Amino acid sequence: MSSRRLKERIPSARSVTTARLNNYRFACNKIGGDNTGYANLEYDPESHVYGVVYKLQPDHFNTLDLYEGNYQRKEVRVEAGSKKLKAITYISDYTSNDLQVADWYQEYILNGAREHQLPAEYIQTIKEELNHKREANWRISNG
């Protein structure tokens, strides 16, 4: 979600709007190259997520694919106010529920959500997922 991070990869990227994607929930269960958890979406017909819609050129996705290892592109329909938009997101099935999430990455996620002024209740949902990961891993490491 972070504009700065995306612009480091795609300098011409610009955020257009925030949007809601139904039938998915936020999870940090994608296995990273360092064996820590990274953001992901899981299908859940009772949930929804918020995110940022960026304007990109078609060839930019090839560049993003290089960064987004073990994710697959998925075309989705999102709600931006009263408008429905086609968008591309990245989802991984290379997952584990037993992953720690690095502190720097947690801050990166939360800062991106705040930067784009996502709804407060959704930011709280993100915090709860991150705290759940932290508590679960503390229990694993401390028996």
Whole-angstrom distance, CA of residue 1 vs CA of residue 113: 7
Whole-angstrom distance, CA of residue 126 vs CA of residue 62: 28
pLDDT over 90 for what percent of the chain?
81
What's the rounded mean pLDDT across residues 107-131? 95
Please give the residue range of the domain that contains residue 31. Answer: 3-142
Residues annotated as catalytic (active site), given as ranges: 68
Residue whose C-alpha is closest to residue 48's, from 140, 139, 119: 119
Residue whose C-alpha is closest to residue 55's, from 25, 26, 31, 86: 86
Residue 32 DSSP code: P
Domain of residue 20, CATH code: 3.10.490.10
pLDDT at 72: 95
Confidence grade of residue 81 (pLDDT, cut at 50, 70, 90): very high
71 annotated as belonging to a binding site for a ligand: no
For 39-53, write each residue's pLDDT tens digit: 999 999 999 999 999
> In terms of pTM, does the model score above 0.85?
yes
Instruction: Report the domain count for the chain.
Output: 1
Confidence grade of residue 69 (pLDDT, cut at 50, 70, 90): confident
